[in-house]
Amino acid sequence: MKRLPYWAHNPETPGSTPVFRYHLSQADIQLDWLIAKAFLNTLKCPICKSRLDLYEVHDKSRKYNFCCSSNWEHYRIFFIHWEATLRVEYETVVVYEGKHQYHLTQYDDNRTELFVYDVDAENRIIDVKDKKPFLGRYSQKMFDFTNTTKEKIINRVKTILVFS
Ligand SMILES: [Zn+2]
């Protein structure tokens, strides 16, 4: 098990690294983990189809625990594997196209957030004073990340933006 130092934890934090290792030492939890892993193996990065890897980090106010194994920025999720029902509470996809970064977060309770940032030639977000990035909030899941491609996601974003 890789040690991931980013996430400040306390003994109560589920998924935090030392607690996690302790849990793995218990046989029943180990079985749960195998089931969780099987579930995880069904998830692929929507951008490059890579498998997901452990990744514990806070991003703004959110925390994530798994991401695309070839590029964390493609796809990252908060996967709840310590409750009876396995679920992805939210998932974030980042795609670049021309002068824009599209930052999509989709929630288990049927919500989607879409940020559109201006980026430079190196895909760095350009902070323009007095110009906030576009933010769209939708009360449904706008994307199906299970069977898609980068191109399909970009086309979907453009369709959504036309109607925003
Ligand atoms: Zn990827």
Q: What is the pLDDT of residues 61-113, one digit of tens each?
A: 789 999 999 999 999 999 998 888 899 999 999 999 999 999 999 999 999 99
Residues by chain with Cβ below 5 Å of ion ligand 1: 45, 47-48, 50, 68, 71, 74
Å from CA of 160 to ligand 1 middle: 23
Å from CA of 35 to ligand 1 middle: 23
Q: How far is CA 84 from the centre of its chain?
A: 21
Q: How far is CA 113 from the centre of its chain?
A: 12
pLDDT for 26? 62
* pTM given for the model: 0.78
Å from CA of 76 to ligand 1 middle: 9
Quick one: DSSP state of residue 147?
S
The model's pLDDT over 7-65, given as tens digits with 9 standing for 90+, comes to: 555 555 555 566 666 665 666 666 777 888 899 999 999 999 999 999 888 877 789 99
Tell me the residue ranges of DSSP E strands in 98-144: 100-107, 111-118, 134-138
Å from CA of 12 to ligand 1 middle: 31
